């Protein structure tokens, strides 16, 4: 591979092989970013996404790492810097959830969700911040959820992790701003992907009816918001949460 020019940008999307992560990776590639696709499992999906990114004309590769493990994260960032010499954009998208009543939630499941969704964001942000500080600039976008704002029943661990992620976004923005690093959050609403269609075969119909814009979102909707926050057009925006939810979590519950 030829050395990157100063105008070219590089990005890492954790959990980028499928669903919302794949949509984000594709939109970053369409904006001209070279993209590393992280995965912990699902290598075939990650490689398929890399193939789609390469077809757009950017350099892309898959990198396996469990973001909840510091050693994996360090090795992943070493691979990125070895390949590109820098990292311009980090998207903390990797996440898991456990569905069930709080009183039945096993400790191991709580730990798995918090370790992936919140600790993983911390570990990747720390590694990216060290590299971006040396560069003098960078953009980090954390992928939140409607549960940043509203409690989701039977998703206690997930809701706790996403609420923590939003506050982590703010403190990271304050601490890293002097180094030229911006940190923001994108909080999707009802997004139709393979997983959500498995939850409900009429997912788009059910959630579209209660979303003010009367449709569900797509991974591309989320990806375009990420591209904006990672771009120079958002150079004075940091510490913010952008809701990509069609107004779903803005409306209040109204009895009539």
Query: What is the signed CA dihedral for 85, 56, 129, 169, rounded to 10 degrees?
Result: 180
- Of 65, 67, 62, the closest CA to residue 37 belongs to 62
256 in catalytic set: no
Structure tokens at 161: 């992790």
What's 191's DSSP letter? B
- Angle between helix 219-230 and 19-30 (nearest 10): 50
Please tell me the distance from the alpha carbon of residue 65 to that of residue 37, in angstroms, as a whole number: 10
Asked if 57 and 233 count as a contact pair (C-beta separation under 8 A), the reply is: no
Do the strands 60-64 and 33-39 form a parallel or antiparallel pair, or are they unpaired? Answer: parallel
Structure tokens at 36: 């590393």
- Of 172, 178, 151, the closest CA to residue 241 belongs to 172
Q: Where does residue 115 fall: left (phi above 0), alpha (psi -120 to 50 degrees), or beta otherwise?
A: alpha
Q: Of the listed 39, 158, 203, 256, which one is catalytic? A: 158
Asked if 190 and 178 count as a contact pair (C-beta separation under 8 A), the reply is: no
- Work out the burial of residue 5: count CB atoms within 10 Å of its CB; fewer than 13 is exposed, 13-18 middle, 19 or more buried: exposed
> What are the two backbone dihedrals, phi and then psi, of residue 163, each rounded to the nearest 5 degrees?
-65, -40
Catalytic positions, written as ranges: 158
């Amino acid at each position: 591979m030829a050395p990157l020019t100063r105008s070219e940008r590089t990005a890492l999307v954790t959990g980028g092989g499928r669903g919302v992560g794949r949509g984000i990776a594709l939109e970053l590639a369409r904006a001209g970013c070279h993209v590393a696709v992280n995965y912990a499992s699902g290598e075939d999906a990650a490689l398929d996404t890399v193939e789609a990114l390469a077809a757009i004309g950017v350099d892309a590769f898959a990198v396996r790492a469990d973001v909840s493990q510091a050693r994996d994260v360090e090795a992943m960032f070493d691979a990125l810097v070895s390949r590109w010499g820098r990292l311009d954009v980090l998207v903390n998208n990797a996440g898991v959830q456990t569905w069930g009543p709080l009183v039945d939630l096993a400790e191991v499941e709580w730990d798995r969700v918090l370790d992936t969704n919140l600790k993983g964001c911390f570990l990747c942000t720390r590694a990216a911040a060290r590299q971006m500080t040396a560069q003098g600039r960078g953009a980090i976008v954390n992928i939140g959820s409607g549960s940043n704002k509203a409690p989701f029943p039977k998703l206690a661990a997930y809701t706790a992790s996403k609420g923590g992620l939003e506050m982590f976004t703010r403190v990271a923005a304050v601490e890293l701003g002097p180094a030229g690093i911006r940190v923001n959050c994108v909080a999707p609403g009802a997004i139709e992907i393979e997983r959500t269609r498995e939850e409900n075969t009429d997912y788009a119909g059910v959630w579209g009816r209660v979303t003010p814009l009367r449709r569900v979102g797509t991974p591309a909707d989320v990806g375009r918001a990420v591209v904006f926050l990672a771009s120079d057009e958002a150079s004075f925006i940091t510490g913010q949460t952008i809701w990509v939810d069609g107004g779903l979590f803005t409306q209040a519950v109204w009895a009539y």
